[in-house]
Structure 1
Amino acid sequence: MPPSRSLRLSTALLTGALLLGGLATTPAAADVPAATAATTAVRVNQVGYLPDGPKRATVVTTAAQALGWQLRNASGAVVASGSTVPRGADAPSGQSVQVADFSSHRAAGTGYVLTVDGTSSAPFDIRVDLYDTLRSDSMAFFHHQRSGIAIDASLVGSAYARPAGHLGVAPNTGDVSVPCQAGVCDYTQDVRGGWYDAGDHGKYVVNGGISTWLVVNSFERAERAGKEAALGDSTLRVPERGNGIPDVLDEARWELDFLMRMQVPDGKPHAGMAFHKIHDAAWTGMPTRPEQDSQPRELHRPSTAATLNLAAAAAQCARVFRPYDSAYADRCLSAARRAWSAAQTNPAMYAPDSDSTGGGAYGDTRVTDEFYWAAAELYAATGESAYRDALTSSSWHTSADAFSPYGFGWADTAALGRLVLATVPNGLPAADTARIRASVTAAADGYLSRMAAQGYAVPVPADGYFWGSNGEVANDAVVMAVAGELTGDARYRAGALETMDYLLGRNALGLSYVTGHGETSSQNQHHRFWAHQLDASLPRPPAGSLAGGPNSALQDPVAEERLRGCAPAACYVDHIDSYSTNEVAVNWNAPLAWLAAYAAERTSAGGEPPTASCTVTYAVSNVWSTGFTATVTVKNTGPAAVDGWQLAWTYPAGQRVTSSWNATVTQSGTAVNARHADWNRTIAPGATVSFGVQGTHTGSTPSPTDFTLNAGTCA
């Protein structure tokens, strides 16, 4: 795990005593192998590949010379062939590997197999709708994790249906009137609802905040891309479908309501702050269905970190929900303002690492990053100078370290502020916005560099396999996808998609970490209800749940016993009692759901790269000593309309765009990307669109000569 930053200590060493007390030695648990053995040395994304995406496989071999590969279709016919690229020793996996690249094959089909040196991969597909099911399943995870509502068989199937948990129905003591720990408060609070955080029955504001933000942000990003319909009303398996509000926002609202219930009421000490967490007074045993949990529940002392998570998530709610439910948006904004003011009054109420009985501590004694994130969201929601001043005076605003070496996480949230400011229109100076966007692409470039240096193309460092490493991999993919949005550079989309390859089987174990997706996937994730390995009457985890992943610290008894001496990327065991490698958590499934929605979007009707036939005229209309203006005219010369156009070019003499009209123009280095406005997003056959830019120069303003429209070269 990152030095001094505990990314996940929920059911860690504390649960060990419970498991060692007998549950870990049941016959069902004892007969599971240390890790699921890879069935082949040819590691692929076991779900498959997009026709227009990268298609690479990693081959485990001691051979030093390049090997021949063949891609066969379901009939066994060879449809493509080539040679691997030797990579040699891959430190994270401890393996010697080569890489096969078959990206040039774009024909859709099912049952493909890649054969290298006589060894064949698991079968996989190449198709446009590859990730549609995962988009739905990964988002359904949150409905499965809902507290305080019955989970209906009509939505999840009979195996996963259950009564509502923690509503005060015996044997539950319930969450409708929860007392505080001794000395924290002298009243009770209604904190029903929300998502169970992980494999236990705790609910944590700091994990809920970042998870909610990612779920809502997935819809925001889809809106910016004009693809929000795929997450709209009646698209997901939620009980609120058909209410006129996008289903992904309905799901987020279940957690937002809980987060706001965790706010200390007016008239009480620390009013406006948020209680850090609510969970059982002691650890519950394995397995325990939510409605059968008889433990008393407790509220834990408020914290500044939790309060700022509430402020950020509620401010985002105020922006995104307003077109659908303005009254709810107003409620969210009121809660966000109260939380911000309370955090300013109480800037150093830290959650202690020692508070770890019955639930994870989530200790965090550095909250300047949460202040920056919350200020960014409140400024984006209101445009008010007080929030602008708070964020621009933050040390994080100019820091190059907003994206930590491990990306971002519940304890490292400055990057979320950067992503907000990079993508949501605001009143910051153009130079500030350009610098913020450049920091996003710089972080993405770092992830791409790591991927290029590793045999399995993983964006985390070689020492980055800590508790919840799969969540960090998915978080890094989010950053790469946003960088692609800002620049139009296809490298970032390719990087984001290749992280999906890693999660779905192209990894050191040849195992898909996402339940139900892939030929060989995780089946025994640590969970108190999805506990078939301990009780055959209970189900396995539902499709779409992401295992925490390799953790080289080996922080549970099963991992310590079975994985001793493992290479970092192989420190995983598909065993229900290996909570440090195989637990689930909302903050790991949230970036998976974000990424699945992104990957499922169609780039064009046929899945091929969204090319276009076009001509571009770039005319400099005015030049002065340090600046210029230019008009850009794009003509669609093809037979079909171009919908959602983006035009990219490179300036040959270091010109810098400072403003634009009739298009949103961003720049990273010399690369420029212009994106349509709402009213001119479609260019009909034979039609033109024009937009303008103003910028600076250093002595000359030669016109760019090469333009691409939606990745197609223009004349």
Structure 2
Amino acid sequence: MRTIASFIFVLLVLFSTSVLSQNQNICLNSLGFLPQASKKASIIGETKSFVIKQADSQTVVFQGKVSTPVFQKDVNQNVGLADFSSFSKNGKYYLETPEGTKSVVFEISPNVYNQAFYTSMRGFYLWRCGTAVEGNHDGHLFSHLPCHLDDGYEDFQGKPDQRRNGTGGWHDAGDYGKYVVNAGITVGMMFMAWDQFQNNLKKFSLDLPETAPEFPDFLKELKWETDWLLTMQYTDGSGKVSHKLTRKNFEPFCKPEEDKEKRYFTDWSSAAVADFVAMMAQASRYFEPYDKAYSQKCLDAATLSYKFLKENPEDKVFVQGEFQTGGYQTEDKDDRLWAAAEMWETTGNAEYLKDFERRASSENFKIDEDWDWGDVSNLGMFEYALSAKAGKNPEILKIIKKNIIDVANQIAFNASSDVYGRPLSRYYWGCNGTIARQVLNLQVAHKISPKKIYTQTSQDAISHIFGRNYYNRSFVTGLGINPPMNPHDRRSGSDNEIQPWPGYIVGGGHSAKGWKDVQEDYSTNEIAINWQGALVYALAGFVGK
């Protein structure tokens, strides 16, 4: 597979090693910095000072001291800090030490994150299933033909060999399956990005095909997914929602259009039903200004499935059975909590508010510092805390807001205590996505109690993802310094292009030094919509107008 391309890639790596070596001891956000933001670089080893030089003229524009190096056990390094936050002039620069070591060239600009946001958000368009996609990045073409047009069959819903329409949506990760639970956290975060940052996003062009006339591009992409989600609701009027739509086993590395194996609507799970309710309630209110009939369709679907949840209070976890594709098996208490919050926010119905407050109380109003698809209660807690609707219990609101602030403070402390500004203190499958997702905690806290430390730590998280880390590499394909070249992604692994499909954050190592940029290493180098949605949210808050 891609023998010639792999050979050329090896030559490129050998050629670039000498170029990158000059930067290996200076780790910073290779995308650059907003003018008024904090600007930090982690410098490995002993050096006492640094200068910032203009990239073209090599003129010194800033001088500073490097803090005394701190030894951090997990990376086994002594690392000092260069802080040039007070320098804010727009331009392109590099950092240099007295020993002659130079950083990668970086930019200071109000629009420094715009290209990364564009590329990362378009990653969802390039993930589209059931249609042809095409995009250019840095002179490289990425495309596939219409795929999975037979989605899907109802054998596991008692209708052998019968097909109903389940086309559309996004491929989930490095595989081509489609999963409601993982869509939940993804769509939930992205709708929150729209809610909080829409003033900057409304006119942001993503160069998308006209699949939702009159919709802003950001919402246009979300509608592609909600169109598919609506097909996952059973057609019998029960309100049940299939857990996933996949083949029985993971497909081999092939182009999407070459995957011809039969794909099925699976049995329902209560977590999938609850996540569906939450997403449809969000879709109803955010799409309402652009398509009232579609908004009502989403709300009707959400109401039906909420009614089913109420009548069926037991936790029904999905059972894989004959399937060996992604499980996404999870208890439903957090999903039901989130569903109630979104239904209340959309309708104002006191029944939903009562349901949320009861469930939040049973969870002791907990806010998670470290979270992903397996526990989406934060989405419900955040919605409640930020809602402008009347009727909330003042004591419950006070406790939830306090817990949000306390967790944000802990995240900020973690980042300030790490030599690379990493706000997450653990390592595991998909931890890079969690680092991006913690920006949601910080931004919500900032809305409740504005503090500079929350936006600074948010930008530290982004900096870590784009180069201020142990590897001095970007974790996002096609963006930043020395980005991943071999993600676990069937499209990247089956085309004739040397470069991987662009804009995707990879999962990250299970230890401080455990990441491998190896295609087969899915546990550290896969891509996935839940991590991608977190990256999009993190960048959305800092997009320039």
Give me the TM-score of the superposition, normalised by structure 1: 0.71
Q: Is 1:545 aligned with 2:504?
A: yes
Q: Is 1:526 aligned with 2:488?
A: yes
Q: What SS does the aligned partner of 1:125 have?
A: strand
Q: Which residue of 2 aligns with 1:227?
A: 200
Q: Which residue of 2 aligns with 1:194?
A: 169
Q: Which residue of 2 aligns with 1:513?
A: 475
The answer as to whether partners of 1:355 and 1:361 remain within 8 angstroms in 2 is: no
Bigger RCO (CA 8 Å, 6+ sep): 2
Q: Which amino acid in the other structure matches residue 374 of structure 1? A: A
Q: Which amino acid in the other structure matches residue 127 of structure 2? A: Q
1:112-134 C-alpha deviation (Å, 9 max, x unpaired): 23436432211111111101111
Alpha-carbon deviation of 1:149? 1.3
The answer as to whether partners of 1:369 and 1:396 remain within 8 angstroms in 2 is: no
Q: What SS does the aligned partner of 2:80 have?
A: strand
Q: Which residue of 1 aligns with 2:402?
A: 438
Q: Which residue of 2 aligns with 1:685?
A: none
Alpha-carbon deviation of 1:296? 1.3
Cα pair distance change 1:156/1:31, threshold 3 Å: closer
Alpha-carbon deviation of 1:203? 0.3
1:383-409 C-alpha deviation (Å, 9 max, x unpaired): 111111111111456625331x41x21
Q: Which residue of 2 aligns with 1:180?
A: 155
The answer as to whether partners of 1:123 and 1:519 remain within 8 angstroms in 2 is: no
Alpha-carbon deviation of 1:158? 7.4
Q: Which residue of 2 aligns with 1:104?
A: 86
Cα pair distance change 1:308/1:321, threshold 3 Å: same
Cα pair distance change 1:525/1:597, threshold 3 Å: same
Partner Cα distance (1:116, 1:574) in 2: 32
Q: Which residue of 2 aligns with 1:41?
A: 25
Partner Cα distance (1:335, 1:156) in 2: 42
Cα pair distance change 1:490/1:185, threshold 3 Å: farther
Q: Which amino acid in the other structure matches residue 506 of structure 1? A: R
Q: Is 1:333 aligned with 2:299?
A: yes
Cα pair distance change 1:311/1:116, threshold 3 Å: farther
Cα pair distance change 1:155/1:546, threshold 3 Å: closer
Q: Is 1:284 aligned with 2:275?
A: no
Q: Is 1:491 aligned with 2:450?
A: no
Partner Cα distance (2:504, 2:98) in 1: 31
Partner Cα distance (1:452, 1:214) in 2: 25
Q: Which residue of 2 aligns with 1:53?
A: 37
Partner Cα distance (2:228, 2:413) in 1: 40
Structure 1, 384-393 or 351-360: larger mean CA deviation: 351-360
Q: Is 1:598 aligned with 2:545?
A: no
Q: Which amino acid in the other structure matches residue 30 of structure 2? A: Q
Q: Which residue of 2 aligns with 1:631?
A: none
Partner Cα distance (1:445, 1:454) in 2: 14
Alpha-carbon deviation of 1:538? 3.8
Q: Which residue of 2 aligns with 1:657?
A: none
Gaps of 5+ in 2: none
Q: Which amino acid in the other structure matches residue 426 of structure 1? A: K
The answer as to whether partners of 1:515 and 1:523 remain within 8 angstroms in 2 is: yes
Structure 1, 390-399 or 366-375: larger mean CA deviation: 390-399
Q: Which residue of 1 aligns with 2:378?
A: 415
Partner Cα distance (1:24, 1:401) in 2: 49
Q: Which residue of 2 aligns with 1:361?
A: 327
Partner Cα distance (2:230, 2:134) in 1: 25
Cα pair distance change 1:327/1:55, threshold 3 Å: same
1:212-269 C-alpha deviation (Å, 9 max, x unpaired): 122222111114xx434344xxx112112783211111100111111111011225xx
Q: Is 1:453 aligned with 2:417?
A: yes
Q: Which amino acid in the other structure matches residue 117 of structure 2? A: R
1:131-155 C-alpha deviation (Å, 9 max, x unpaired): 1111111110010000111114589
Q: How does 1:533-612 map to 2 (within 5 A)?
A: 537-538=496-497, 540-550=499-509, 552=510, 568-601=511-544
Structure 1, 478-487 or 391-400: larger mean CA deviation: 391-400
Q: Is 1:310 aligned with 2:280?
A: no
Q: Which residue of 2 aligns with 1:17?
A: none
Q: What SS does the aligned partner of 1:89 have?
A: strand
Q: Which residue of 1 aligns with 2:190?
A: 215
Q: What SS does the aligned partner of 1:416 have?
A: helix
Partner Cα distance (2:322, 2:108) in 1: 46
The answer as to whether partners of 1:184 and 1:301 remain within 8 angstroms in 2 is: no
Gaps of 5+ in 1: 1-22, 168-173, 553-567, 603-715
The answer as to whether partners of 2:248 and 2:322 remain within 8 angstroms in 1 is: no
1:159-208 C-alpha deviation (Å, 9 max, x unpaired): 222211111xxxxxx21x41333869885432111000011110000011
Q: Structure 1: which 4+ aligned runs deviate by more than 6 Å? A: 23-27, 29-33, 154-158, 182-186
Structure 1, 582-591 or 187-196: larger mean CA deviation: 187-196
1:325-384 C-alpha deviation (Å, 9 max, x unpaired): 1111111111111111222333335335755844111111x2111111000000101111
Partner Cα distance (1:194, 1:203) in 2: 7
1:273-320 C-alpha deviation (Å, 9 max, x unpaired): 11101112222212x111111211122210001111100000011111
Aligned equivalent of 1:150, options 115, 132, 146: 132
Q: Which amino acid in the other structure matches residue 370 of structure 1? A: D
Q: How does 1:338-417 map to 2 (within 5 A)?
A: 338-352=304-318, 354-355=320-321, 357-364=323-330, 366-395=331-360, 399-403=364-368, 405-406=369-370, 408-417=371-380
Q: What's the Cα RMSD here?
A: 2.7
The answer as to whether partners of 2:446 and 2:454 remain within 8 angstroms in 1 is: yes
Aligned equivalent of 1:247, options 178, 197, 217: 217
Q: What SS does the aligned partner of 1:206 have?
A: helix
Q: Which residue of 2 aligns with 1:127?
A: 109
Q: Which amino acid in the other structure matches residue 571 of structure 1? A: G
Q: Is 1:205 aligned with 2:180?
A: yes
Q: State the structure with more CA Rg.
A: 1
Partner Cα distance (2:7, 2:245) in 1: 30
Partner Cα distance (1:494, 1:81) in 2: 22
Q: What SS does the aligned partner of 1:371 have?
A: helix
Higher helix share: 2
Partner Cα distance (2:506, 2:463) in 1: 15
The answer as to whether partners of 1:396 and 1:402 remain within 8 angstroms in 2 is: no
Cα pair distance change 1:157/1:242, threshold 3 Å: farther
Q: What SS does the aligned partner of 1:600 have?
A: coil
Structure 1, 451-460 or 23-32: larger mean CA deviation: 23-32
Cα pair distance change 1:417/1:299, threshold 3 Å: same
Alpha-carbon deviation of 1:483? 1.6
Q: What SS does the aligned partner of 1:498 have?
A: helix
The answer as to whether partners of 1:71 and 1:114 remain within 8 angstroms in 2 is: yes
Higher strand share: 1
The answer as to whether partners of 1:56 and 1:101 remain within 8 angstroms in 2 is: yes
What fraction of aligned residue pairs are identical, expressed as a percent? 29
Q: Which residue of 2 aligns with 1:141?
A: 123
Partner Cα distance (1:517, 1:80) in 2: 26
Q: What SS does the aligned partner of 1:103 have?
A: coil
The answer as to whether partners of 1:308 and 1:343 remain within 8 angstroms in 2 is: yes
The answer as to whether partners of 1:351 and 1:361 remain within 8 angstroms in 2 is: no
Q: What SS does the aligned partner of 2:30 have?
A: coil
Q: Which residue of 2 aligns with 1:626?
A: none
The answer as to whether partners of 1:372 and 1:396 remain within 8 angstroms in 2 is: no
Q: Which residue of 1 aligns with 2:465?
A: 503
Alpha-carbon deviation of 1:473? 0.3
The answer as to whether partners of 1:51 and 1:108 remain within 8 angstroms in 2 is: yes
